[in-house]
Amino acid sequence: MRRFVRLLSLAAVSLLAAAALSAAERNVVLYVVDDMGSTDAGCYGNEVIGTPGLDALARSGTRFTHAFCTTASCSASRSVILTGLYNHANGHYGHEHAYHHFSSFDGVKSLPVLLAAKDYRTARAGKFHVAPEKVFHFDQVIAAGASPAAMASNCRELIAADSDRPFFLYFCTSEPHRPFKREGSRAVKPDDVIVPPYLPDSPACREELSQYYGSVERADSGLDRLLGILQQANHAHDTLVIFITDNGIAFPGAKTTLYDPGMRLPCVVRDPYAAKHGVVCDAMITWADITPTILDFARATPQNAAFHGRSFLGVLADEHPQGWDEIYASHTFHEITMYYPMRVVRTRRHKLIWNIAHGLDYPFASDLYDSRTWQDTLRSKAEYYGKRRVENYLHRPRFELYDLEADPHEVNNLASDRSHAATLAELQTKLKAFQERTKDPWATKWRYE
């Protein structure tokens, strides 16, 4: 009998030790860069930009081809990333800093707070840009340093610490946000850049893109350094690494818009326990899925969790997973003066944009308006900006409906085409249901027009 009791005790100790080891072997790094597009990395097909860090992560992880932010604005997007809730529900409608003064509701439970409740060491480095601090509280704030690579070096102590508690590191570069910081990166010639179809192929645009390329490389240097630190600290094998950007590049036609250049973004994920690596996955995911995915990996999902997103951890090894064919987006503000609420449903083939304040001119972020690319467009009195007419960019109808297979650049609005009336009605129904499901205050606008 005593031997049996002793065996039970040993088994219990072994189980407890295994549980502790399992928890300690589930570290998380969430790497967020600022204003980077979906085609601006080697692993996404750009052979001009040098992104060795992201390319290495893609080789050892999963590269998503259909990943989307839910709002193409810095603070609002980050609030979604850290809560799993659309910004119209978490309250962070626009920018946090200065006179913009947006913030999330006090009762929101954010990712770092939920992980801390499960005994994670939580730390952030770099751009924060959400409020209030008590909602988005981290145990530690790591010094930024002079560059992303230097900031990564400052994270070494957290990663290499002799601790039986796992860590969550939220690492955010200011690059490649305007003004484009390029120190330490190569000088890319304007003639060598790849001008995407939504931008004008002008000398001014090429010059700005060359500066942007250098800033992307600078952002990647931090990831490259951080991956090396994880390897040196013997944590590459037990750390989930997620690389994303908050929204599209800081050019008119991308950032602040919910056209694909503004919301379709890079996402590369390395799950050390995934069955396959080097996977290219076409699941349609959004930044509302980031918090549920990380909590799933950490085995820290609260009971009765009510996130708007869902974990994509289970599809990382699948190139064409079923049931990931539709996403939603919700944008209201960027700067406080930029009220232009839009709601979006996007399927594989179609996108519907509801411009709720369509009677207003489309507003400009100050840095986008002042950019050489846009000022050159104004000075030249160009009719087109990329493939879109300038007039259509500035003045938008109530609904924009696009067939993305026939019109991937979203310039041929089918909303008033009777032959697409059934598709319009179907997507409007989906959009209304999404707004009701997520308690969107702007759902009431359907009744007033």
3 vs 323, more confident: 323
Residues above pLDDT 90, as percent of the chain: 92
Tell me: do 282 and 351 sit in the same domain.
no
**Burial tier of 133 (Cβ tally within 10 Å: 0-12, 13-18, 19+):** exposed
Tell me: do 277 and 354 sit in the same domain.
no
Least confident of 10-19, 23-32, 104-113, 416-425: 10-19
In a domain, 18, yes or no: no
Query: Of the candidates 316, 344, 366, which is a domain's last residue?
Result: 316
CB 329 within 8 A of CB 71: yes
pLDDT at residue number 448: 80
CB-based contacts of 4: which residues, under 8 Å, 6+ apart?
none
74 counts as catalytic: yes
Domain containing 376: what range? 331-448
Rounded CA separation 414/302 (Å): 43
Concatenate the DSSP letters of all residues of 401-426 into one string.
Answer: EEETTT-TT--S--TT-GGGHHHHHH
Choose among 223, 224, 262: nearest CA to 37. 262
In a domain, 77, yes or no: yes
pLDDT tens, residue by residue, 132-167? 999 999 999 999 989 999 999 999 999 999 999 999
Query: Of the candidates 316, 347, 365, which is a domain's last residue?
Result: 316
4 has pLDDT over 90: no
Look up tokens 């967020």; give the residue.
32
pLDDT at residue number 18: 38
Q: What is the CATH number of the domain that holds 440?
A: 3.30.1120.10
232 has pLDDT over 60: yes
The average confidence (pLDDT) of the chain is 94
Say how many domains are in the chain: 2
In a domain, 2, yes or no: no
Tell me: do 256 and 150 sit in the same domain.
yes
- Read off the pLDDT of each residue in 362-387 and give the average, rounded to a whole number: 97
Tell me: do 257 and 143 sit in the same domain.
yes
Q: Which of 69, 74, 205, 267 is catalytic?
A: 74
pLDDT at residue number 24: 52
Q: What is the CATH number of the domain that holds 135?
A: 3.40.720.10
Tell me: do 66 and 138 sit in the same domain.
yes
pLDDT at residue number 25: 85
Coil vs helix vs strand at 31: strand
pLDDT at residue number 331: 98
Number of H helices and number of E strands within the chain? Answer: 14, 14
- Read off the pLDDT of each residue in 274-283 and give the average, rounded to a whole number: 96
pLDDT tens, residue by residue, 340-369? 999 999 999 999 999 999 999 999 999 999
Rounded CA separation 71/401 (Å): 18
In a domain, 324, yes or no: no
pLDDT tens, residue by residue, 179-192? 999 998 899 999 99
pLDDT tens, residue by residue, 63-105? 999 999 999 999 999 999 999 999 999 999 999 999 999 999 9
Tell me: do 388 and 439 sit in the same domain.
yes
